[in-house]
């Protein structure tokens, strides 16, 4: 059974640009969540999607957005990148009704 797949794994962007990250959940999972990991702030919740609907959102500015497609794949977008957006972005997959939550390997974003 394939795990959670995130692409791209590494990317470098310039301040002011935008970026789109992709996540394919485990087959049959309908919930996808996104987290940002930085050395200073640790792991912080961005948002969660279930069956194409955003169910919950963390405390991030509107530059951070996401969506989920009918096949449960999800994308997150960050517009007008700032240096502080440099982080590991992790996607999590679950059935949406509790217990097991699996993470992907993450996308490392560096903003220069």
Partner 1 sequence: GEDVEQSLFLSVREGDSSVINCTYTDSSSTYLYWYKQEPGAGLQLLTYIFSNMDMKQDQRLTVLLNKKDKHLSLRIADTQTGDSAIYFCAESIENTGKLIFGQGTTLQVKP
C-alpha 55 chain-centroid distance:
14
Residue from the set 38, 56, 80, 110 that interacts with partner 1 by CB under 8 A: 56
Which tokens go with 14? 């310039």
From 17-25, 67-75, 76-84, 96-104, give the range in contact with partner 1 by CB under 8 A: 96-104
Residues contacting partner 1: total by CB under 8 A: 26
Residue 53 binding partner 1, by CB under 8 A = no
Q: Which residue, 17, 73, 64, 8, is CA-closest to 36?
A: 64
Between 6 and 111, name the residue whose CB sits nearer to partner 1.
6
From 16-24, 62-70, 73-81, 90-98, give the range in contact with partner 1 by CB under 8 A: 90-98
φ, ψ at 56 (rounded to 5°): -155, 150
Residue 96 binding partner 1, by CB under 8 A = yes
φ, ψ at 83 (rounded to 5°): -55, -35
Site string for partner 1, 21-50 (x = CB under 8 A): ----------x-x-x------xx-x--x-x
Residue position matching structure tokens 């200073």:
40
Distance CA 60, CA 35 (A): 11
Nearest 5 degrees, angle CA 27-CA 100-CA 103? 65
Q: Where do contacts with partner 1 occur on this chain (CB under 8 A)? A: 4, 6, 31, 33, 35, 42-43, 45, 48, 50, 55-56, 58, 90, 92, 94, 96, 98-106
């Amino acid at each position: 059974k394939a795990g959670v797949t995130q692409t791209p794994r590494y990317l470098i962007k310039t301040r002011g640009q935008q970026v789109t990250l992709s996540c394919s959940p485990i087959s049959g999972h309908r919930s996808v969540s996104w987290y940002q990991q930085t050395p200073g702030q640790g792991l912080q919740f961005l948002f969660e999607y279930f069956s194409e609907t955003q169910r919950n959102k963390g405390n991030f500015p509107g530059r951070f957005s996401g969506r989920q497609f009918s096949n449960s794949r999800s994308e997150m977008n960050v517009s007008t990148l700032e240096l502080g957006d440099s982080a590991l972005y992790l996607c999590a997959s679950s059935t949406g009704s509790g217990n097991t939550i699996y993470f992907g390997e993450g996308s490392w974003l560096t903003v220069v």
